Structures are given as C-alpha cells and as structure tokens.
Amino acid sequence: MSKYNILITGTGGCGVGEGLYKSLKPLKDYNVFSCNSSDNSLYLFDDPTTSFIVPPASHHDYCKCLINICKTHQISVVLPGSEQELVVLVNNRNLFSLEGVVIFANTAEVINTYDNKWETFVSLKALNVKTPDTTIDIDDKSFFMRNSYPIIVKPIYGNASKNVFIVETKEELKCISAYLGFKKIDFVIQEYVGSAKEEYTISVLSDLSGNFLGSIVLKRILAGGFSQYIECESFDELDRIAQQVAKSVNSKGPLNIQCRIMNGELYVFEINPRFSGTSPFRALLGFNEADILFKKMFLDVNVFNRDKIQTGSFGVRGFQEKVYLKSIKSQLQINS
C-alpha cells in the first residue's frame, strides 16, 4: 500500500488528538500531519515540517485554514482530535468533500444528540436502553422520590469529568447547583449506578455508511477524567449489548460507550460519538480504530481480527516528558 497523508487536529492537552497520533504515527502506511491551536502540543515538535499552528475551531477561518493545509500536502483524511473541532468539522463536511477530503467522524445527528447529556438520556430511554434515571430540574420531586443520595451532577456538555460531582446531600446539591448556575453551566442530575470498580468503556466502530467493522470492551479505572488503568477480556455479553446500542442510535463512524454494571445489567451513562482518549490503549491491544476505518474506506477491506485482540492483558497510562531547544518553535508552520 502506498503511503497516505492524514491530518490529526487538536493534538495538545493529552486528549483524543494525542491518542490518535500515538495510534497512527508508528504505522508505516501513513504520513501523519498534526495541528493544534497553540504550541503546547508535545507531538508538534517531533517533526515541525509536518506540524501546524492553526486558529481555534471558533475562528471564522478555521476550516479554510485546514482545507489549505490538505490541498498543499495532498491530505485525504482529517481526524478531529477535540470536541470543538469535531462539531465544526462535521458541520462543514461538504466544504472538505469538495476538495476530496474525508472527515473521519460520526453523523451530525448522532453527535448533536449524544454530546448533550440530557438528549442522551431521552434518546436511550426511548430506545429502551438501560440508562441512569436523569432530570434537569433540581425541584423534580418524583426524581428524588425514586432516587436516594449519592447522586451525580454533570454538565450537559463536557468531557474528562470536568465539573462532575458526586453529591451526598440536599444541601450539597444546592451549593453545587448555585455554583454551576453562577458559571452559567447547564447540568443534569443523575442516578448513581453501580460501582467505579465495574465501569467499562466500549468502542463500536462502523464505517461511514453504518456497516459494523469491529468492537472492543475495556474495563477501566478513571483518574483525573482519563482511563488510567484498563483490563482487556472477552466480555462477550457486554460487547453484544454495545453493538446493539450502536445500531439502535444509527451510528456511522466511531462511537464510544461508557457504562457500568448494576444488579448484573449494563447501564449506559454516556455515549461519546467520536474517537476516544483510550484509542492508544486499543491500538496496542490489536484494535486500531482509525487504521481499521481508513483501510475500509479507501481499500474496501476490513482488517479487524477479533482473535488478535490481546485479551488477558491490562494497561496503565502515565505521562511523558520531552525537552526541546527553543529554536525548534521557529520551524513550526503557522497557518492563519
């Protein structure tokens, strides 16, 4: 296979973009280009000739800038590496398509629904998918009659556990709701289900037409909003349920399902309609989502092999540090 040029956005901040970079950079099939809205990205400096500083996703020239990069470097695929960029890129998919560039992301409908925690609850309940009881009304008496403390308070929009609270009392709920109100952050109040010891992150990958390509279930322990420790086993029943959920929500592209076990049943508490921060874990275990999707879309082959997933394994996430001479910053390509 000839090398293909791909662009990963949002590679700073230890997030999804960084994870995708680490998943694809070691593969011989790709020339990996990266970009970020600031120079605080570790991987921008690995090869400044393929790295770009671009405007933030909110900037009116953001898409124009990325399209110019794609045209100049014959890039055929863009992988969104942050939530903000994901929404903007999907809403402007046609602009990239006119230049022969494919955005590797789910549909706007799926993203708009499942980026919203309240809409996620409404949709999953309508689909008869087990999900924690949820309300957006702090004075919802019926909710509090059905549920006892502790409960969960989380922003309607957000990720990485930012502004997520485990609330133990009514007084604490009032304080936290006042704080979020002051910050103008809309939130949901949710039933606390299961145990952190029984939490799972499940990737169900489809091509952009909705055809199932593969899946993997990881048991995880969170730290600072990230999966700090994972275990990979077969988890066949959880896998089966997750595939049904992905089909029910009409997923077309990457989909990440967060769930817990309670009373022997799977409860989906969050769906991230995108690649996940655990992508590098999955790639190391034999499920490289971006690579699988690329080869299906461009070569019409599904390279996923469930037998090659390294079940019986665990993974641990840490940090890494690198030091560079300041002069390397002058080599970065600034596009604005």
What does the domain layout of the chain look like in residue ranges?
A: 4-104+321-334, 134-191, 196-316
The token pair at 93 is 């998919």
CATH fold of 134-191: Dna Ligase; domain 1 (3.30.1490)
Instruction: Give SS3 for 212.
Output: strand
- The token pair at 70 is 């794609």
Where does residue 24 rank: exposed (0-12), middle (13-18), buried (19+ CB within 10 A)? buried
| Torsion on CA atoms 274, 25, 49, 55, rounded to nearest 10 | 10
Write the class of the CATH domain 4-104+321-334: alpha beta
Contacts for 163 with CB less than 8 Å, ≥ 6 apart:
154, 155, 180, 183, 185, 187
pTM attached to this predicted model: 0.93
Cα 267 from chain centroid (whole Å): 19
Per-residue pLDDT of the chain (336 residues; tens, 9 = 90+): 578 999 999 998 778 999 999 999 999 999 999 999 998 888 888 888 899 999 999 999 999 999 999 999 999 999 999 999 999 999 999 999 999 999 999 999 999 999 999 999 999 999 999 999 999 999 999 999 999 999 999 999 987 678 899 999 999 999 999 999 999 999 999 999 999 899 999 999 999 999 999 999 999 998 877 889 999 999 999 999 999 999 999 999 999 999 999 998 999 999 999 999 899 999 999 999 999 999 999 999 999 999 999 999 999 998 778 888 888 888 887 876
Among 278, 289, 286, 265, residue whose Cα is nearest residue 230:
278
252: number of Cβ within 10 Å: 19
CB 273 within 8 A of CB 253: yes
Alpha helices in 44-165 (DSSP H): 62-73, 83-91, 93-97, 108-114, 117-126, 141-146
**The CATH homologous superfamily of the domain defined by 196-316:** ATP-grasp fold, B domain (3.30.470.20)
The phi, psi pair for 167, rounded to 5°, reads -105, 130
